[in-house]
């Protein structure tokens, strides 16, 4: 670590005041928050963020995708660097899932802001600029990873034509936020302008808690794919058609859903698969189901496992459909490939943890994050802090405050290490 700044720490009290203030936007009675992208609560939270950025004397930047940033030009003017173009990003997102928790995303944005404020106040000379960023719609209320994908130049018009929340909701949200489709598509930054991206996040699982470990250093973000599978049978009278004569779509779909658990546990122990929705038609007590639509999602940490799991799941769906005399229609809905993190960022986090005397362990992230959109554009790194009981996307979501402060200080020290190196 650099002796010039190895004693520098964030302000726990200021970070806590920010956290408590932000949690009021979209607060629910059970301790959670409801702050979907471009909702009134989300826009109010961003207005509050703008005030904090300006109060800190930082440069407020809002790009055409609605991403909000606190920018600090702290680069040393030297002939061997290009301080006007190199920036280290730190951040996360302020939007939430419906009726979610206070920590998801919010902690990362506020910690990033606190890091930039701390560096500004200390007057630390660095070889690149710092920027704390709040990305738009990480959670996918409208278009998943909208802000980060736009910055990376990975967002297309097709993504906006078929948003998860529907085009009407996207249009209404964009109008409220004052952004346009063309603006979102033009928000890409030059790849060489970003030196790296670091993010602090809650784990959203209980591996750190179980291991009694302070910090998780993310080695990779899982690949995620989703499919819509339609099992096609034949509608018949439920009372007069014998069990042997039925082409019951619900039986085949159910057999597939049950088989998923054993298949994944046995053959893919590092992976997960989920059926989040099942729709039966016609959906009457006295009619043998003619069709069943199953929403399938699966996640894997490596490209090899991702491919093999995809093949195994689709093959099993085909087997169960044939066993019950059914047709099978397969619709691919989209995917994000497994994403390894930067060794440079990982090593910076390890050094920071060691200097702060915090225990750490490598983890694969089972959830998607904005950083995976930026891989290939810059060095990306993430750290996790423990989630009590592993709860997330729920009002039960909680992280001990000292763990939040620990994470913010690791973020600070890693950022200082990376931003003080000549580029």
We report the CATH number of the domain holding residue 137 as 3.40.630.10
Q: What residue numbers bound the domain in which 247 lies?
A: 224-336
Domain contains 168: yes
Residue keyed to tokens 């069709």: 291
Any idea how long the chain is? 423
Q: How many CA atoms lie within 13 A of 273 on its CB side?
A: 28
Q: Quick check: is 150 in a domain? A: yes
> pLDDT tens track of the chain, all 423 residues?
566 678 999 999 999 999 999 999 999 999 999 999 999 999 999 999 999 999 999 999 999 999 999 999 986 554 344 545 699 999 999 999 999 999 999 999 999 999 999 999 999 889 899 999 999 999 999 999 999 999 999 999 999 998 887 899 999 999 999 999 999 999 999 988 999 999 999 999 999 999 999 999 999 999 999 999 999 999 999 999 999 999 999 999 999 999 999 999 999 999 999 999 999 999 999 999 999 999 999 999 999 999 999 999 999 999 999 999 999 999 999 899 999 999 999 999 999 999 999 999 999 999 999 999 999 999 999 999 999 999 999 999 999 999 999 999 999 999 999 998 754
pLDDT of residue 192: 87
pLDDT at 423: 46
Radius of gyration of the chain (CA): 24
In a shared domain, residues 202 and 268: no
Query: Beta-carbon neighbour count of residue 184 at 10 Å?
Result: 26
Domain tally, the chain = 2
In a domain, 7, yes or no: no
Q: Phi-psi category of 363—alpha, beta or left, where left has phi over 0 and alpha has psi -120 to 50?
A: beta
Q: Is 4 within a domain?
A: no
Q: Residue 91: phi, psi to the nearest 5?
A: 170, -165
Please identify, among 273, 302, 336, the residue that sits at the C-terminal boundary of a domain.
Answer: 336
CA distances 295 to 9, 18, 228, 321, Å, are 46, 39, 5, 16
* Residue where one domain finishes, among candidates 288, 321, 336: 336
User: In this structure, are 315 and 347 located in the same domain?
Assistant: no
In this structure, the answer to whether residues 387 and 315 fall within a common structural domain is: no
Q: Is 22 in contact with 45 (CB distance < 8 Å)?
A: yes
So what's the pLDDT on residue 80? 45
Same domain, yes or no: 228 and 174: no
Q: Specify if 261 maps to a domain.
A: yes
In a domain, 6, yes or no: no
Q: How far apart are CA 184 and CA 58, in angstroms?
A: 24
Q: How many other β-carbons are positioned within 10 Å of the β-carbon of residue 69?
A: 25
151 and 287 together in one domain: no
Q: Check which CATH number belongs to the domain holding 236 and give it.
A: 3.30.70.360
- Examine the domain organization and report whether 229 and 216 are in the same domain: no
Q: Is residue 370 domain-shared with residue 321, that is, in the same domain?
A: no
| Whether residue 160 is found in the same domain as residue 297 | no
Half-sphere exposure of 70 (CA within 13 A, CB side): 30
1 in any annotated domain:
no
The pair of structure tokens assigned to 406 is: 């620990």
Q: 292 is written with which tokens?
A: 């069943």
End-to-end CA, the chain: 18
pLDDT value of residue 145: 96
Same domain, 165 and 254: no
240 to 246, 283, 290, 411: CA distances (angstroms): 10, 17, 16, 67
Q: In the numeric block, which tokens belong to residue 66? A: 């609605």
Instruction: Count the alpha carbons within 13 Å of 40 in the hemisphere toward its beta carbon.
Output: 1
């Amino acid at each position: 670590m650099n002796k010039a700044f190895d004693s520098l720490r964030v302000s726990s009290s200021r970070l806590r005041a920010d956290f408590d203030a932000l949690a009021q936007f979209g607060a629910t009675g059970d301790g959670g928050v409801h702050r979907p992208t471009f909702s009134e609560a989300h826009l109010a939270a961003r207005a509050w963020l703008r005030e904090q950025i300006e109060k800190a004397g930082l440069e407020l930047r809002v790009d055409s995708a609605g991403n909000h940033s606190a920018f600090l030009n702290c680069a040393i003017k030297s002939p061997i660097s290009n301080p006007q173009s190199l920036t280290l990003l730190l951040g996360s997102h302020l939007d939430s899932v419906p009726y979610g928790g206070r920590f998801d995303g919010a902690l990362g944005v506020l910690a990033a802001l606190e890091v930039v404020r701390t560096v500004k106040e200390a007057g630390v000379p660095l070889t690149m600029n710092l920027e704390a960023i709040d990305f738009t719609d990480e959670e996918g209320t409208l278009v998943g990873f909208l802000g980060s994908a736009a910055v990376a130049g990975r967002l297309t018009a097709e993504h906006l034509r078929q948003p998860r929340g529907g085009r009407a909701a996207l249009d209404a949200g964009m109008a409220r936020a004052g952004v346009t489709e063309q603006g979102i598509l033009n928000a890409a930054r030059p790849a060489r302008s970003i030196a790296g991206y670091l993010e602090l996040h809650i784990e959203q699982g209980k591996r750190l808690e179980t291991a009694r470990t302070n910090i998780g250093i993310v080695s990779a973000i899982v690949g995620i794919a989703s499919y819509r599978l339609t099992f096609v049978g034949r509608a018949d009278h439920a009372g007069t058609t014998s069990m042997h004569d039925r082409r019951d779509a619900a039986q085949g779909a159910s057999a597939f859903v049950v088989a998923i658990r054993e298949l994944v546990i046995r053959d893919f122990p590092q992976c997960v698969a989920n059926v989040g929705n099942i729709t039966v038609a016609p959906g009457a007590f006295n009619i043998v189901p003619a069709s069943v639509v199953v929403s399938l999602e699966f996640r894997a940490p490596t490209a090899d496992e991702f491919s093999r799991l995809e093949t195994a799941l689709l093959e099993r769906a085909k087997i169960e459909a044939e066993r019950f005399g059914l047709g099978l229609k397969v619709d691919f809905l989209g995917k994000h490939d497994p994403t390894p993190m930067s060794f440079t960022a990982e090593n910076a986090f390890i050094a920071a943890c060691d200097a702060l005397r915090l225990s750490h362990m490598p983890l694969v992230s089972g959830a998607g994050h904005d950083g995976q959109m930026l891989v290939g554009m810059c060095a990306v790194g993430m750290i996790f802090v423990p989630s009590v009981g592993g709860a997330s996307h729920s009002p039960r979501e909680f992280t001990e405050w000292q763990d939040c402060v620990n994470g913010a200080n690791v973020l600070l020290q890693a950022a200082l290490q990376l931003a003080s190196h000549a580029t």
